[in-house]
Chain A
């Protein structure tokens, strides 16, 4: 398929050396992307790689801080999403960003409604909507509110809107699809791909963002990989095998931590937590897992492989519907997080901003939260006790702050993460689940958190740590569990604890 792209042709859209900074974070550094007419171009990378930010720059939602954007070789800059639409760049976002209260037809043509005598011609609008959707194999009542339809239909409507002609706008040249298949079933995905192939023939350049690698190989012609806000490489899909792709996505450069031995010599120790055939709906399937006392176990896998779901399950946020779980030798059934905390299990969630910290509260209050909840609200922690606790952890974890009363929202990412860690260390858990503890934090804090993980092991705490950074996992794990498609596919230890082996396991048989 890649041969069909004439390499001599100019790209329809080119992004060069794009920089974008948010307070305290360099979201994009020298990012780039070239799109040719009539191709499906997969934009890949793990969470936080900068895909979404790049797309937002491209579609006028965010303004770039540096670099250039060339559409048909003309340098442009979009101030609003509307500007980008006018220029012929349409976007379909991961969550359906349409209006549930308006009719399907109106969602398709909002802002470009057909008119008659200066008024919206609802009949003509419905007619055009039916025509447009029939090319998608969709035969629905276009005058009904969008909310009446399934998410899959809404998704297709969103894509149809993306290519619907817009008033005063250029023909759609670039269509950006951000995780369009996340909520579709297999048949619906095929319908979508049918439509994409059709659009390709019409010369539309399609950017396809997904974390389903199989779909990348099914539909895309070329691939651009990003990591940590940087451009990693551009590849012809046909010439890049899955293992190479995963290596590019996860990063392969060797760090000095590579040669460090795990925190403890791997000796046999009692399992603090054992799961047998543990399942939870579609999210985790028949998991066997042993977490030994005083060791850190790494959990590897791509986004959506079931890593986060395991953490949620072991913390009682989700309920198991099959299998058994035992903790410290006795069988348990976790029904809610309070139960897990009482047993001595703690979880630092993946998304610090929405699931972890309470931005407006001070460091002291954020640290005291879990301990207070564990004690019960009727036994209030005195302010003095809270202060001691906060001071202790600020000192111990070297949290950079003038005092404990600063709102956590004003700290840097790394310091915020340390505060959340302190919150859970304060309840003195036996088992600490860390979901992506090092995402989005600076290198200094990163090293400190790895150091802390080793220390905690030495003190006899058990940890389960998920991370997309394979180097990092090998730095502290006594063994690494690899997940793919909701299932455990490998358990690595000893000699096998290196990024290459992990990557091979993630890629699986298709290497």
Chain B
């Protein structure tokens, strides 16, 4: 029991420690404002990481999400700007397209037994290429709807402010929490990550699950792209480069096994918060180079991967090496 939850508790302790360190050193760190900013600044990463969690739980990987964020941002900006579409209509077209894109990658992985790494790497180049082809320049978004959304939000005491995108992100976290841990689809994802051959023999619809799960990841990434466009008021083909790696890092730091089959949505939330807190700490300090956040994340990743190895080793030896 404790072994399953141990990485989760470690991440939780690190989040508290990081917050405590900030609060003890800087005035104003321990405020609701910092917390809500943490959410809104990392909303797009968190939404992307939710999809990535699902994919990694199944034993796969999705490298295309950064490019999908950029492509959906550019597409939204172009449709709203030059083409004069209403933003909601643009989103209603972009999200299904992203789902189809992800489903295509899932189908390739499933039916041709290709490595998810390679398939989604191809998807990454493809989406980035298309985004750049459509527009090399950053496209600005000006629309009353965007202004209205920016105005909308929940005012909290202590300078806290949950904007529309933060609320959407929280809703998505809750949705994914239920989907992953309390739905049949979620169990199938864990089953795939445990042993896809056994899952097949136990009657799990392996093909449908694989395709659905890559479709969800792409759709969440496209949602992240839209959230990002509210943040920047623009769409840019070279935005979000490397976000897929940040997302993977957050998932792993959140205690999800890279080999699949074990992990929690809440862990990913903690992973993103931890990475955000490190950045916030550096911003408060003012004298530290922001590259320190990369160094700390690198060290954390090493630590968590070593921990995974250790845990899965004792896992196997207990099962007598037979299971």
* Chief secondary structure at chain B's binding surface: helix
Write the A335-364 contact mask toward B (1 if CB under 8 angstroms, else 0).
000000000000000000000000000000
Asked whether B190 lies within 8 Å of A151 as measured between CB atoms, the reply is no
* Chief secondary structure at chain A's binding surface: loop
Task: Tell me the residues in window 199-224 of chain B with beta carbons closer than 8 Å to chain A beta carbons.
Answer: 199-205
The segment from A32-40, A89-97, A222-230, A425-433 found at the interface with B is A89-97
A120 to B203 CA separation, bound complex (whole angstroms):
18
A147 to B320 CA separation, bound complex (whole angstroms):
9
Asked whether B202 lies within 8 Å of A110 as measured between CB atoms, the reply is yes
Q: Is B148 part of the binding interface, using a Cβ–Cβ cutoff of 8 Å?
A: no
A-B contact pairs, 7 of them (CB 8 A): A82-B205, A98-B202, A98-B323, A101-B261, A120-B187, A149-B319, A151-B319
Q: For A119, give its contact among B182, B199, B315, B323 (CB under 8 Å).
A: B182
Q: For A151, give its contact among B4, B261, B315, B322 (CB under 8 Å).
A: B322
Contacts of A120 in B (CB 8 A): 182-184, 187
Q: Tell whether A150 pairs with B320 under 8 Å between CB atoms, given A100-B194, A113-B187.
A: yes
Closest residue of chain A to B262, judged by CB? Answer: A101
Q: Is B178 part of the binding interface, using a Cβ–Cβ cutoff of 8 Å?
A: yes
Asked whether A101 lies within 8 Å of B194 as measured between CB atoms, the reply is yes
Contact residues of B with A, CB < 8 Å?
1, 4, 178, 182-184, 187-188, 190-191, 193-195, 197-205, 261-262, 315-316, 318-320, 322-323
Task: Tell me the residues in window 94-125 of chain A with beta carbons closer than 8 Å to chain B beta carbons.
Answer: 95-102, 106, 110-111, 113, 119-120, 122
Contacts of B200 in A (CB 8 A): 81
Asked whether A99 lies within 8 Å of B319 as measured between CB atoms, the reply is no
Asked whether B190 lies within 8 Å of A102 as measured between CB atoms, the reply is yes
Q: Is A130 part of the binding interface, using a Cβ–Cβ cutoff of 8 Å?
A: no
Contacts of A80 in B (CB 8 A): 203
A385 to B178 CA separation, bound complex (whole angstroms):
65
Contacts of B1 in A (CB 8 A): 144
Most buried by B among A85, A101, A106: A101
Contacts of A151 in B (CB 8 A): 319-320, 322-323
Asked whether A148 lies within 8 Å of B318 as measured between CB atoms, the reply is yes
A480 to B4 CA separation, bound complex (whole angstroms):
54
Contacts of B322 in A (CB 8 A): 95-96, 151, 183
Asked whether A100 lies within 8 Å of B183 as measured between CB atoms, the reply is no
Q: Tell whether A111 pairs with B184 under 8 Å between CB atoms, given A101-B190, A145-B4, A146-B323.
A: yes
Q: Kindly provide the distance from the CB of A180 to the nearest chain B CB, expressed in whole angstroms.
A: 14
Q: Tell whether A119 pairs with B191 under 8 Å between CB atoms, given A85-B203, A97-B201, A111-B202.
A: no
Q: For A147, give its contact among B184, B199, B202, B315 (CB under 8 Å).
A: B315
Asked whether B201 lies within 8 Å of A81 as measured between CB atoms, the reply is yes
Asked whether A97 lies within 8 Å of B202 as measured between CB atoms, the reply is yes
Asked whether A147 lies within 8 Å of B323 as measured between CB atoms, the reply is yes
Q: Is A456 part of the binding interface, using a Cβ–Cβ cutoff of 8 Å?
A: no
Q: Is A417 part of the binding interface, using a Cβ–Cβ cutoff of 8 Å?
A: no
A81 to B322 CA separation, bound complex (whole angstroms):
23
Contacts of B178 in A (CB 8 A): 119
Asked whether B184 lies within 8 Å of A99 as measured between CB atoms, the reply is no
Q: Is A41 part of the binding interface, using a Cβ–Cβ cutoff of 8 Å?
A: no
Q: Is A308 part of the binding interface, using a Cβ–Cβ cutoff of 8 Å?
A: no
Contacts of A145 in B (CB 8 A): 4
Contacts of A122 in B (CB 8 A): 182
Q: Is A161 part of the binding interface, using a Cβ–Cβ cutoff of 8 Å?
A: yes
A316 to B262 CA separation, bound complex (whole angstroms):
39
Other A-B contacts than A99-B190, A111-B187, 16 sampled, CB-CB below 8 A, are A81-B201, A81-B202, A93-B201, A96-B323, A97-B201, A97-B202, A100-B194, A102-B194, A110-B187, A110-B204, A111-B202, A120-B182, A120-B187, A145-B4, A148-B318, A151-B319
A97 to B199 CA separation, bound complex (whole angstroms):
8
Contacts of A91 in B (CB 8 A): 201
Q: Tell whether A100 pairs with B195 under 8 Å between CB atoms, given A106-B187, A145-B4, A150-B320.
A: yes
Asked whether B202 lies within 8 Å of A99 as measured between CB atoms, the reply is yes
Q: Tell whether A99 pairs with B201 under 8 Å between CB atoms, given A110-B191, A113-B184.
A: no
